[in-house]
Amino acid sequence: MWNWVSENSGVVQAALSAVTALVWMVYLHIIVSGLRRQRRTEILVHLGGARDLSARILVSNLGFEPIYVLEIMLSVHTTKGERVSSVADRTEIAHEQHKTPREATLQGPMKSGESVDIGSVTDLLDRARHNSFENIDLEDITQVEVTVAALTAADSRVAAATRRFLLKHNEDTICLVPKNLYAKQIRSRWRRRKIEQRLRQLL
């Protein structure tokens, strides 16, 4: 065997070099994947409490890094089309009731693992009406979509997540049915640009 190794030392050396390179490539892939996972945003939008219009909408930051909530948008879908409004400002609370300026808006930093109650579905619809939705009738709404746009120190582009809820109209009640199991993370360049365009329109 040793004779064969000595006679084919060039082949053996090349094979060992290839195996070593493969091992280093695997380690590099693991390191890069870990770094990407640490820098990747993960924003949750979920329901709390009841499943009617009094349900609370909770936003959580499950990413490893803190985020800055730049805007919260509500898309209301009716038989006549879709309308989008900002719902980041707490218009349902009078200015004199705010103890600090931070209580007037949902914009601001959010640490890793932190969660914030952005209001009930009724609150969000009232804020949308306060801005531009005064002519929308509740009975005409088929679904609503909550989009959270944020900034991170790790990326110069907007990070965002969105979740859609169907409104099922019964005789006396309206039931909320999530269309997805969890919030959809917006990571593609095209969809990020689309979010940025909506943000400019809301300025």
Mean pLDDT of 75-81: 86
In the chain, the amino acid numbered 164 is R
Spell out the residues 6+ positions from residue 16 whose beta carbon is closer than 8 angstroms to its own: none
Distances (CA, A) of 53 to 44, 45, 103, 137, 182: 19, 16, 23, 14, 19
Please state, in angstroms and rounded to a whole number, the distance separating the CA atoms of residues 39 and 12.
41
Question: What is the arithmetic mean of pLDDT over 25-35?
Answer: 63
Question: What Cα–Cα distance (Å) separates residue 62 from each residue in 32, 45, 72, 103?
Answer: 20, 11, 17, 23
pLDDT for res 35: 57
Q: Is 69 helix (H, G, I), strand (E, B) or coil?
A: strand
pLDDT of residue 203: 75
- Report the pLDDT value the prediction gives residue 58, as an integer from 0 to 100: 94
Mean pLDDT of the chain: 82
* Residue 34 backbone phi and psi in degrees, to 5: -65, -40
Question: What is the rounded distance in angstroms from the CA atom of residue 143 to the CA atom of residue 133?
Answer: 15
Burial of residue 159 (CB within 10 Å: 0-12, 13-18, 19+) is: buried
Question: 55: which DSSP letter?
Answer: P
Average pLDDT rounded to a whole number, residues 36-44:
76
For the segment 129-151, the average pLDDT, to the nearest whole number, is: 84
Residue 149 dihedral angles phi and psi, to the nearest 5°: -110, 135
* Stated pTM of the model: 0.78
Residue with tokens 């965002």: 160
Mean pLDDT value of segment 163-192? 88
